[in-house]
Amino acid sequence: MLRKVVQHGPSTMTVSLPIKWVKENHVQKGDELVISEENNRVVIGTQRKAKKNNITIDITNLNRNTIMFYLRSLYRQGLDEIEIYFENTETIYYDTGKQVKVISTIHQEVNRLIGFEVTQEKDQHITIADLSGTSDSEIEPIIKRIFYLMNDAIDESIIGMRNKNYKLLDSIEEKHNTITKFISYCLRMINKKPNSGKCVTGAYHTLCSFDVTADMMKYFVRHVVQAKQEFSKEGIAILEDISKLSEMTKDIFFKLDLQKVKLFMKKRAEVKRKINIFTRRKDFEATLIAYMTPTVEIFRDLVETKMSTTDITEVKE
């Protein structure tokens, strides 16, 4: 949609508002509009509270993980209130082969959704809702926080494996849950306040990459704890290299520098060579190291995303 700019005097310009948007938002003569600047865009909105975005769902016969991912996806899409109905009080948790309570599953997921609370609860009906309202928080500081949490999780995993500290390794799952909370919250903010452009697309891609990396860390550590696997010095060294790549990715993401990118690419190539040699052993340790290999490419992808969403002409060489 294109609109012509009209000059009024030496310092005032106006542009007409789309009539469809005016009608939908009940804008009238004399109303005050909120105008904010976002890079080269001007965003116009009303001061009226947005209409609540509610939905009613039936989760009967869904398994535990599907229920959790379903609720998480609705939260991330920006739903404000979710009425949940179910016929059975228990559902299957395929990972353990055991039955779990549906209500407990819902509560567990709600605890990972910042701002959401259970507002009504019956035997076969639960309502969850956003009690915090739409947040005006900036996404970038939260993404930085996720980076720090991710690096801490990797470093603590290495310390736990080196010292056979399985309690420390068990705690990594809590870090995973915290990371998932922040990821879901950021994705929700993006969807609640949609804005086209490469910056938002890059942020969405970055958050989804975090999600995959956090899951890989969780399952990697879970396998180590279950097997009580003792790692060799060579295996620990590769994990330390992966940690270093994570740290380098964070530095590049906070401040893009082409020399840092060059060093990252060199380190990535070195780590890939080490992994290729190490995984030829075909033992359990090598299998676990191979499981973590995709994180190397995820970090590379994050670096590329940063470069694609930054004005590269202004970046230090």
Q: What is residue 35's predicted lDDT score, i.e. its pLDDT?
A: 79
The Cα 296–Cα 155 span in angstroms is: 15
Cβ contact 158:243 at 8 Å: yes
DSSP state of 130: E
Q: What is residue 163's predicted lDDT score, i.e. its pLDDT?
A: 92
Q: What is residue 42's predicted lDDT score, i.e. its pLDDT?
A: 76
Q: At what angle do helices 233-254 and 139-163 cross, to 10 degrees?
A: 170
Q: For residue 205, how many other CB atoms are within 10 A of its CB?
A: 16
Cβ contact 267:241 at 8 Å: yes
Q: What is residue 15's predicted lDDT score, i.e. its pLDDT?
A: 83
Alpha helices in 96-138 (DSSP H): 102-110
Q: What is residue 104's predicted lDDT score, i.e. its pLDDT?
A: 94
Would you state the structure tokens that stand for residue 111, as one six-digit string?
Answer: 């605890």
Q: For residue 20, how many other CB atoms are within 10 A of its CB?
A: 9
Q: For residue 144, how many other CB atoms are within 10 A of its CB?
A: 13
Cβ contact 278:231 at 8 Å: no
* N- to C-terminal Cα separation, the chain: 38
Non-local CB neighbours of 101 within 8 Å, separated by 6+ positions: 89, 90
Q: What is residue 202's predicted lDDT score, i.e. its pLDDT?
A: 81
Q: Which parts of the chain register pLDDT below 50?
A: 196
How far does Cα 8 stand from its chain's mean position? 46
Amino acid at 227: A
How far does Cα 92 stand from its chain's mean position? 26
Backbone angles phi, psi at 227, to 5 degrees: -90, -10
Which tens digit of pLDDT belongs to each residue from 197-252?
A: 556 778 888 999 999 999 999 999 999 999 888 899 999 999 999 999 999 999 99
Q: What is residue 46's predicted lDDT score, i.e. its pLDDT?
A: 73
The residue with tokens 């790549």 is: 245
Q: What is residue 2's predicted lDDT score, i.e. its pLDDT?
A: 77
Q: Can you give the pTM of this predicted structure?
A: 0.74
Query: What is the sign, positive or negative, of the torsion defined by CA atoms of 186, 205, 177, 256?
Result: negative
